[in-house]
């Protein structure tokens, strides 16, 4: 047994040395980029939230279990690693005790002979084999050679996945080999409970006592050897996520990685645009060296599962953006130029020419690591982040690369340039004079039936006013969205809610500029609005546009503008619940609801719009196949509202095609952008005869006001 112990310990030392060398390389590579002190500070300040995240995301496998078959399989394989750690403790104990006493009958102190532990070890090992079989079936069924682009594994490194499944299988059968032999030699710590090991022992018993005495140390060394080889493979493969996933979850944004876009930082400090120098400061991500350690953690942690890819509206409509490949292409490039990233300036001159050539390759460009069409296809819908089981933040990578392209390279779709000029000059994306923002107010006041006077805040909020109604650019200037604005104003008036609007004093929140990557324009507009709101004494805001809602609630606090912000569906649902609004007139229609991305995934507002529709008599609701956290984008987010869609199928057309499968009388939503995008696609379908001539898209507020006051939908 002494020889067995020496062999086992030598193998262990060699494997740990190789693994440690790789881990040190990965650490140095991650730290070669930009610091992200805000991530560390948040994790320290919110230890409770981080502990909950580890329990729910890592140990509870919450996101993985959303995909039931593969989620359950991963759950049992993950817990096999956790529970079978006790088997390795027993194995090393037997190795050392056998060398010392000559009898490898080690057991874990206190619990080492408890039958329940032996049963748990065997049960999870058997479940692990079932999980491996499930993984194999899933991979065969979803093989890219069969499904092509439709496979979520398209673009993944397939060979590595099969190798890992094979290695895990080797872990299990060698476990039962040495445990079965140990039972036959009398060195097994459990008298009962370990049912599978006892079955293995029954199979090995006919070989005789001598054979089992040989098989026990051989099986022990095989089991340890497989584990050690597996360790070395893991730290050199995509399955590195076994170790990095908890770290990636730890440093992710809470509550779920969506919400506010991180502020621009240079060398860890928030960038001050008045003092920033493009020659010395970091503006977004122009090279991989501009990536933070969290970005590198994202690279290391990607499991190549393709959940993000399968949910991406760009990928699903024939565009080149795959959130998975966006991460993998950067990861592969980082490993390829690692010698350059880790070398000093003097050392770089002596590097091989192929490494220097790769290091000089632009991060974004026609011949770059990331093609511009990939970068500009993103709608910022958040489906990738929502579905990623290891909290990779794909949108952060895209926004950072966009920032560099827009602010330093001035390279972005030309039509977006018009939008930026309009924001700078007129305070709205359409370039309409600011006085036009008050026209809807005049239209409400001049109605012959039920005219409504809306308070225009000119200085400070009047006493007793409950909410500032943030109308938004679309709500004030776009004809279809103005119907929603009027409906909300009318409902608030009927409910007795005192509210006012800024009118011409309101400017765009800056969301289109920030999502495009022009942080300077966002900063300018945001500070202007915050100054206006603070001077007026605003504390509570209701907004109809989810993009405005998200920006005001989640991003303005970064610049000192902290307010209580609600979406109009949240406020209206509460008013209905309190009895201040009562739907009475039936609307005998089948309606399907489209979840706006920035209301749903970004802010988790799913129930209130549906609650409103549920209170309207006569309405029959029918969910689309992709809804709620798996909802499909309209195509307008990420500043795509102001960019032409030239590649593949239009995203709004894809969404309307899905809506038409429910045979609706109307499509409802709760976002002016969605209203416009879905409305345009529906009109196209009407022209080709694919949709009912009466089909239209309306905001849930329009449905509610129709039922509350009777008559036709409010205009």
Q: Do 446 and 402 fall into the same domain?
A: no
Asked whether residue 132 carries a pLDDT value surpassing 50, the answer given is yes
Same structural domain, 239 and 291 = no
Domain boundary among 214, 248, 282: 248
Question: Partners of 456 in the beta sheet?
Answer: 501
Alpha helices (H) in 371-449, listed in sequence order: 372-376, 383-387, 394-407, 414-426, 439-445
Quote the tokens at residue 706: 């129709």
Same domain? For 187 and 305 the reply is no
Neighbours of 453 (CB within 10 A): 9
- Does 421 reside within a domain? no
Domain final residue, candidates 387, 412, 437: 412
C-alpha 542/C-alpha 531 separation (Å) is 18
Report the 10 Å Cβ neighbour count for 15: 18
Q: Tell me the per-residue pLDDT of 590-639, one tens digit each, with 9 for 90 and over.
A: 999 999 999 999 999 999 999 999 999 999 999 999 999 999 999 999 99
- How far is 664 from 620, CA to CA, in rounded Å? 9
Per-residue pLDDT tens for 294-352? 999 999 999 999 999 999 999 999 999 999 999 999 999 999 999 999 999 889 989 99
Q: How far is CA 662 from CA 147, 178, 270, 613, 618, in A?
A: 26, 58, 48, 16, 17
Task: Indicate if 303 and 181 belong to the same structural domain.
Answer: no
Distance of CA 662 to the CA centre of its chain: 28
Comparing 351-360, 537-546, 653-662, which segment has the lowest mean pLDDT?
Answer: 351-360
Structural domain count of the chain: 4
Residue 389 phi/psi, 5-degree rounding, is -75, -10
Is 132 in contact with 176 (CB distance < 8 Å)?
Answer: no
d(CA 132, CA 77): 8
Q: Is residue 54 part of a domain?
A: yes
Cis check: omega of the bond before 627, within 30 degrees of 0: no
598, 472 in Cβ contact below 8 A?
no
pLDDT band at 3 (very low <50, low <70, confident <90, very high): confident
Cα–Cα distance for residue pair 714/89, rounded to 1 Å: 71
Give how far the C-alpha of residue 699 lies from the chain's centroid of Cα atoms, to the nearest Å. Answer: 27
- Residue 472: name the closest of 464, 480, 462, 482 by CA: 482
Same domain (yes/no): 372, 279: yes
Residue 142 confidence (pLDDT) above 50: yes
Token readout for 617 is 């008599």
Could you give phi then psi for residue 180, rounded to 5 degrees? -65, -45
> In this predicted structure, what is the pLDDT of residue 256?
61
**Sign of the C-alpha dihedral, residues 57, 61, 65, 69?**
positive
pLDDT digits (tens, 9 = 90+) for 402-453: 999 999 999 999 999 999 999 999 999 999 999 999 999 999 999 888 899 9
Burial of 45 (0-12, 13-18, 19+ CB in 10 A): exposed
Q: How far apart are CA 316 and CA 524, in angstroms?
A: 35
Residue 480's contacts (CB-CB under 8 Å, 6 or more residues apart) are 672, 675, 676, 679
Q: Are residues 233 and 274 in the same domain?
A: no
User: Is residue 295 within 8 Å of 145, Cβ to Cβ?
Assistant: no
Assign residue 309 the CATH number of its domain. Answer: 1.10.1060
Query: Whole-angstrom Cα distance, residue 587 to residue 590?
Result: 9
**Is position 420 within any domain?**
no
Q: How far apart are the first and last CA of the chain?
A: 88
Tens-place pLDDT, residues 613-624:
999 999 999 999
Distance of CA 337 to the CA centre of its chain: 27
Calculate mean pLDDT across residues 121-134. Answer: 96
Question: Are 545 and 612 found together in one domain?
Answer: no
Instruction: Output DSSP code: residue 410.
Output: -
- For residues 455 and 504, state if they share a domain: yes
Q: What is the mean pLDDT of residues 373-392?
A: 95
Label residue 111 by pLDDT band (50, 70, 90): confident
Query: Coil, helix or strand for 543?
Result: strand
Same domain, 241 and 261: no
pLDDT at 255: 66
pLDDT bracket for residue 127 (50, 70, 90): very high
pLDDT score of 619: 96
Q: With a cut of 60, say whether residue 257 has pLDDT above it.
A: no
Q: Hey, which residues does 667 pair with through a beta bridge?
A: 592, 697
Residue 271 located in a structural domain = yes
What is the CATH number for 631?
3.40.50
Give residue 655's pLDDT band: very low, low, confident or very high (50, 70, 90).
Answer: very high
Specify the DSSP element, H or E, that contains 541: strand 540-543
713 token code pair: 């939908």
Domain boundary among 228, 248, 268: 248
For the cut 70, the answer to whether the pLDDT of residue 652 exceeds it is yes
Which ranges of 102-194 would DSSP assign to H, the alpha helix?
Answer: 115-141, 144-147, 158-185
Same domain, 189 and 226: yes
Does any domain span residue 580?
no
Model confidence at 711, in pLDDT bands (50, 70, 90)? low
d(CA 700, CA 37): 42
Residue range of the domain that includes 703: 590-709
Q: How many residues are listed for the chain in this entry?
A: 715
Three-state DSSP at 531 gives helix
Which residue is associated with the tokens 């999870």?
Answer: 124
Distance CA 135, CA 72 (A): 10
User: Cα(696)–Cα(714) distance, rounded to whole angstroms?
Assistant: 14
Looking only at the bridges linking them, the beta strands covering 666-669 and 499-501 are unpaired
pLDDT (0 to 100) of residue 110 = 83
Backbone angles phi, psi at 455, to 5 degrees: -70, 125
Q: Are strands 499-501 and 467-470 parallel, antiparallel or unpaired?
A: parallel
Task: Indicate the Cα dihedral angle 15, 21, 22, 25, nearest 10°.
Answer: 180
Residue 715 pLDDT > 60: no
Torsion over CA: 96, 98, 103, 105 (sign):
positive
Per the domain annotation, does 304 fall within a domain?
yes
Q: Is there a single domain that holds both residue 233 and residue 273?
A: no
In this structure, how many other beta carbons lie within 10 angstroms of the beta carbon of residue 674? 30
- Residue 172 in tokens: 């299990």
Residue 181 exposed, middle or buried by CB count within 10 Å (0-12, 13-18, 19+): buried
* Dist CA 227 CA 234 (whole Å): 10
Enclosing H/E stretch for 332: helix 323-336
Asked if residue 482 is part of any domain, the answer here is yes
Cα(277)–Cα(383) distance, integer angstroms: 35
Q: What percent of the chain has pLDDT over 70?
A: 99
Give the tens place of pLDDT for each residue, 449-500. 889 999 999 889 999 899 999 999 999 999 999 999 999 999 999 999 999 9
In order of 365, 481, 514, 604, the CA distances from 525 in angstroms are 29, 22, 10, 26
Q: Are strands 455-456 and 467-470 parallel, antiparallel or unpaired?
A: unpaired
Q: How far apart are CA 691 and CA 683, in angstroms?
A: 8
Question: Which spans in 427-567 are helix H?
Answer: 439-445, 473-477, 479-494, 511-516, 519-536, 546-550
C-alpha distances out from residue 580 to 46, 494, 571, 576, 577, Å: 39, 8, 11, 6, 8
Banded pLDDT at 112 (limits 50, 70, 90): confident
Q: Compute CA distances 340 → 20, 300, 345, 347, 349, whole Å.
A: 21, 18, 9, 8, 9
- HSE of 406, CA atoms in CB hemisphere, 13 A: 28
Phi, psi of 370 (to 5 degrees): -115, 125
H/E run at residue 593 = strand 590-593
Q: How far is CA 283 from CA 305, 399, 403, 449, 558, in A?
A: 31, 11, 7, 54, 18
Confidence of residue 100 (pLDDT cuts 50, 70, 90): confident
Q: Within this chain, do residues 367 and 479 fall inside the same structural domain, yes or no?
A: no
In this prediction, residues 650-675 reach a mean pLDDT of: 97
Q: Does 585 reside within a domain?
A: no
Evaluate if residue 200 carries a pLDDT over 80: yes
- For residue 714, is pLDDT > 60? no
């Amino acid at each position: 047994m002494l020889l067995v112990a020496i062999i086992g310990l030598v193998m262990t030392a060699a494997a740990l040395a190789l693994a440690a060398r790789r881990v040190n390389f990965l650490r140095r590579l991650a730290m070669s980029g930009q610091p992200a002190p805000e991530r560390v500070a948040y994790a320290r300040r919110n230890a409770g939230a981080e502990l909950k995240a580890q329990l729910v995301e890592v140990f509870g496998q919450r996101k993985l279990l959303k995909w039931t078959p593969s989620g359950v399989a991963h759950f049992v394989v993950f817990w096999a690693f956790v529970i079978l750690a006790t088997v390795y403790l027993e194995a090393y104990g037997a190795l050392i005790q056998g060398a010392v006493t000559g009898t490898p009958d080690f057991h874990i102190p206190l619990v080492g002979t408890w039958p329940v532990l032996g049963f748990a070890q065997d049960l999870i090992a058997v479940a692990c084999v079932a999980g491996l079989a499930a993984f194999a079936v899933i991979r065969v069924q979803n093989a890219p050679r069969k499904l092509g682009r439709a496979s979520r594994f398209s673009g993944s490194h397939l060979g590595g996945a099969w190798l890992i499944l094979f290695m895990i299988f080797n872990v299990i059968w060698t476990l039962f080999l040495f445990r079965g032999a140990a039972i036959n030699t009398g060195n097994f710590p459990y008298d009962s409970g370990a049912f599978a090991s006892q079955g293995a022992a029954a199979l090995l018993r006919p070989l005789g006592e001598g054979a089992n005495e040989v098989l026990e140390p051989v099986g022990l060394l095989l089991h340890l050897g497989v584990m050690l080889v597996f360790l070395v493979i893991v730290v050199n493969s995509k399955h590195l996520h076994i170790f990095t996933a908890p770290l990636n979850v730890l440093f992710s944004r809470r509550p779920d990685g969506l919400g506010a876009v991180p502020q621009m930082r240079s060398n860890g400090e928030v960038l001050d645009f008045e003092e920033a120098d493009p020659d010395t400061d970091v503006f977004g991500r122009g090279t991989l060296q501009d990536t933070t350690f969290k970005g590198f953690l994202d690279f290391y942690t990607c499991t190549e599962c393709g959940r993000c890819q399968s949910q991406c509206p760009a990928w699903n409509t024939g565009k080149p953006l795959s959130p998975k490949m966006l991460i993998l292409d950067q990861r592969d490039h980082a490993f390829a130029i690692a010698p350059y990233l880790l070398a000093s300036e003097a050392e770089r001159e002596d590097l091989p020419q192929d490494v220097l050539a790769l290091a000089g390759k632009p991060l974004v460009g026609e011949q770059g690591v990331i093609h511009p069409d990939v970068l500009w296809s993103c709608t910022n819908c958040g489906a990738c982040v929502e579905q990623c089981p290891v909290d990779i933040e794909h949108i952060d990578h895209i926004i950072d690369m966009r920032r560099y392209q827009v602010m330093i390279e001035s390279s972005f779709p030309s039509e977006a340039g018009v939008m930026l000029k309009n924001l700078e000059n007129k305070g709205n994306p359409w370039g309409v004079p600011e006085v036009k923002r008050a026209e809807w107010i005049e239209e409400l006041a001049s109605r012959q039936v039920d005219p409504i006077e809306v308070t225009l805040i000119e200085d400070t909020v009047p006493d007793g006013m409950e909410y500032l109604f943030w109308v938004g650019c679309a709500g004030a200037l776009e004809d279809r969205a103005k119907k929603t604005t009027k409906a909300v104003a009318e409902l608030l008036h009927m409910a007795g809610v005192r509210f006012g609007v800024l009118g011409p004093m309101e400017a765009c929140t800056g969301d289109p500029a920030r999502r495009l990557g022009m942080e300077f324009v966002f900063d300018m507009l945001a500070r202007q609005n915050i100054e206006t709101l603070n001077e007026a004494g605003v504390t509570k805001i209701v907004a109809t546009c989810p993009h405005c809602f998200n920006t005001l609630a989640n991003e303005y606090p970064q610049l000192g503008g902290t307010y209580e912000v609600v979406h109009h569906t949240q406020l209206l649902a509460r008013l209905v619940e309190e009895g201040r609004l009562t739907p009475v007139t039936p609307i005998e229609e089948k309606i399907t609801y489209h979840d706006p991305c920035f209301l749903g995934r970004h802010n988790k507002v799913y129930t209130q719009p549906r609650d409103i529709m549920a209170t309207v008599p006569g309405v029959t609701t029918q969910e689309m196949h992709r809804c709620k956290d798996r909802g499909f984008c309209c195509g307008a987010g990420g500043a795509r509202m102001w960019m032409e869609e030239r590649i593949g199928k239009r995203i709004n057309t894809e969404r309307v095609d899905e809506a038409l499968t429910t045979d609706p009388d109307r499509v409802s939503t709760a976002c002016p952008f969605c209203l416009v995008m879905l409305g345009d696609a529906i009109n196209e379908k009407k022209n080709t005869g694919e949709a009912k001539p009466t089909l239209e898209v309306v905001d849930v507020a329009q449905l509610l006001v129709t039922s509350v006051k009777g008559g036709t939908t409010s205009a």
